Amino acid sequence: MIDLFTDITEIANKDGNKVYDIFFGPNHPGMHGNFGYVVDMIGHSIAKARVNAGLLHRGFEKIMETNLWHQNLSLIPRICVVDPDPNEAAYCGAIEKIMGLEIPERAKFIRTITLEMSRMTSHLMGMGSVGGATGLYTVMYLMLADRDRLLDMFEWLTGGRIYHIYNIPGGVRRDLPKGWKEKLYGLMDFFESKLKEYDEILYRHPIIHKRLKGVGVITAEQAKKWGITGPNLRATGVKFDTRKAYPYAAYDQLEFDIPTEKEGDALARANLVRAEFEVTISIIRQALDKLPEGDVNIKLGNPLKFKVPEGEAYAKVESSKGEYGYYIVSTGGIKPYRVSVRGPSLPAGLFLCHKHLPGMRIDDVALWMNTLQICAPDFDR
């Protein structure tokens, strides 16, 4: 199949058929993030795709080497804009692993809550943009308006709407404000009631089913082989979740199950995101119920003189898009020696496109991208 379509370009050229380029992104409404594919088209179908990456490359890993440990905290959430907390959690987690720190229980639970809230914001955006890609803008508007409520909660807790910079090595920055917990309970009820509305308008819509079915099928074998993680892996039927398999924060003390889908196509991925949204609500409720009293961080002294002992560690978290990993190398100085980031959408965005896009219609590209949750900043870095 693949070879067929890569060769087709040449055959079509030879036969005098018109092959033309379409720049799908960066300046394209179906694209979110500054990223693009250049696709060779024959009629309505794609013959070949080339990646146009690096538009968001900021040299994060290099800048981090020149910054203090604590300065980097304000930098890392900017790697993934819609889902910033996994970055902080993974970065702090790696540092704590090198230092051998065990953070206080309360901090673990608060981290879990913020991580799950961040997943919710990201999923709301992801579900909304499935609507956006098919032209169902109402869903997008409704979901983004609802997402704002979560952002308000973040602002109350951390002071920032988008970038929270809340996790620090040794715990979290501050305790929950008064009344925040009760408000969050209310918000969870709100979202649970909203799910019905989303179902009606998006997930049970026959046209959405028609559009999503059979787009970008991945099998379980392929997903494992090609490094695809997170919801995209679970949509192929593999019951795997980093939260269970390699627990961090307080996930080992919470009970939740991992939703899976079988088909591995866009519809399965979209449905899985919806199922995960439900699980997330239950996790937040549990974490709020079990939230212990106590300190929220370990005092580690002056952040300007903060040093991490020599060593290296890999910490990974399950973000809304898949496995987010930080590998940190410290030589005992006030700055990291090397920080390497494993972005979850790299295999999907930069590699899978060569497998899936040839043969696909131009109509489906935006949908394919949205359901795979390709987030350009995390591989451009």
Partner 1 sequence: MVGLLFIGLGRIITARVQRRIGPPFYQQFIDVIKLLARESIWHHWIMTLGSIMALGGLIATMVHVPVAGWLPYDSGGPIFLILYLATIGYLGMAMGVSASGNPNAPLGIGRALSLMLGYEIPFAAILILFISLTGSSSLTEIAAMQAGGFLSWNIVKFPLAFIAAEITVQAMMAEKPFDQMIAPSEIASGPLVELGGKFLGLGMIQMAVAIYFETAIMVNLFFGGGANIFTFTLKQFGVYTIAILINSVMPRYKIENAVRYLWTVPLALIIIQMLIVFLR
Partner 2 sequence: MKTSDILNKTKELFPYIATELFEEQQGRVYVCSDHFLNVLVYLRNSSFVHLANIFAIDWIEEKEFELNYNLWSYDHNSSIIVKVRIPREKPEIPTVLDLWEHGQVYEQEIHEFFGIEFAGNPDLSPLFLHNWKEIPPMRKDFDTEEYSKRAFDVGEREGAK
Partner 3 sequence: MLNEIEQNRKERQSAWEYVINYFRKRSIWLLHYCTGCGAVELPPVMTSRWDLERFGVGPMATPRQADVFLVTGYASIKTLKRMIRTYEQMPKPRWVIGFGACTINGGIYYKSYNVINKLDRYIPVDIFISGCMPRPEAILAALEELRNMIQRGEAKGYDRYVKNYDWYKKNQKEILEREGSLFGEADDENK
Q: Which does 94 bind (CB under 5 to 8 A by kind): partner 1, partner 2, partner 3, none?
A: none
Q: Which residues contact 174 (CB under 8 A, 6 or more apart)?
A: 157, 158, 296
Residue 53 Cβ, how far from partner 2 at the closest point, in Å? 6
Q: Which stretch binds partner 2 (CB under 8 A): 62-70, 139-147, 175-183, 287-295?
A: 62-70
Q: Which does 226 bind (CB under 5 to 8 A by kind): partner 2, partner 3, partner 1, none?
A: partner 2
Of 246, 134, 249, 124, give the one whose Cα is nearest residue 194: 124
Residue 22 CA to residue 98 CA, distance in Å, equals 48
Of 241, 268, 228, 276, give the one whose Cα is nearest residue 374: 228
- Listing DSSP states for 178-236 in one string gives TTHHHHHHHHHHHHHHHHHHHIIIIIT-HHHHHHHTTSS---HHHHHHTT--THHHHTT
Give, in degrees to the nearest 5, the angle at Cα 215 between 53 and 316.
Answer: 55
- Listing DSSP states for 64-84 in one string gives HHTS-TTHHHHHGGGGSSSS-
Residue 316 Cβ, how far from partner 1 at the closest point, in Å? 32
| Residue 316 in the binding site for partner 2 (CB under 8 A) | yes
What is the phi-psi region of residue 237: left when phi exceeds 0, alpha when psi lies from -120 to 50, beta otherwise? Answer: left
Q: Which does 171 bind (CB under 5 to 8 A by kind): partner 2, partner 3, partner 1, none?
A: none
Per-residue binding letters, 34-73, with partner 3 (x by CB under 8 A): x-------------------xxxxxx--xx--x-------
Residue 374 CA to residue 364 CA, distance in Å, equals 14
Length of the chain: 381
Q: Do 259 and 279 touch, CB atoms closer than 8 A?
A: yes
Using CB under 8 A as the binding criterion, the count of chain residues that bind partner 3 stands at 34
Of the two residues 281 and 348, which places its CB atom closer to partner 2 in the complex?
A: 348
Give Cα 323 to chain centroid, integer Å.
Answer: 8
Instruction: For the segment 118-157, give every residue that binds partner 3 (CB under 8 A).
Output: 125, 140-141, 144-145, 147-148, 151
Residue 363 Cβ, how far from partner 1 at the closest point, in Å? 5
- Listing DSSP states for 24-52 in one string gives ESSS-TT--SS-EEEEEEETTEEEEEEEE
| Host H or E run for residue 168 | strand 167-168
Could you say which of 8, 32, 203, 251 contacts partner 3 (CB under 8 A)?
Answer: 32
Q: Which does 75 bind (CB under 5 to 8 A by kind): partner 2, partner 1, partner 3, none?
A: partner 3
Q: Do 269 and 236 touch, CB atoms closer than 8 A?
A: no
User: Residue 245 is encoded by which pair of tokens?
Assistant: 């398999």
The binding site for partner 1 (CB under 8 A) comprises: 20-22, 28-30, 41, 44, 131-138, 141-142, 145, 201, 205, 207-208, 210-211, 361-363, 365-366
Q: Do 229 and 205 touch, CB atoms closer than 8 A?
A: no
Q: Which does 338 bind (CB under 5 to 8 A by kind): partner 3, partner 1, partner 2, none?
A: partner 2
Give phi and psi for 37, each to the nearest 5: -115, 145
Instruction: For the segment 207-226, give every residue that binds partner 2 (CB under 8 A).
Output: 224-226
Could you say which of 231, 325, 336, 358 contacts partner 2 (CB under 8 A)?
Answer: 325
Per-residue binding letters, 182-221, with partner 3 (x by CB under 8 A): ----------------------------------------
Q: Which stretch binds partner 3 (CB under 8 A): 12-20, 26-34, 196-204, 356-364?
A: 26-34
Please report, as a single letter, which amino acid is at residue 370: N
Of the two residues 210 and 305, which places its CB atom closer to partner 1 in the complex?
A: 210
Per-residue binding letters, 240-279, with partner 2 (x by CB under 8 A): x----xx---------------------------------
Applying CB under 8 A, which residues contact partner 3? 26-29, 31-34, 54-59, 62-63, 66, 74-75, 78, 81-82, 125, 140-141, 144-145, 147-148, 151, 161-163, 377
Applying CB under 8 A, which residues contact partner 2? 51, 53-54, 57, 59, 61-63, 65-66, 97, 224-227, 229, 238, 240, 245-246, 313-314, 316, 323, 325, 327, 329, 337-338, 340, 342, 346-347, 350-351, 380
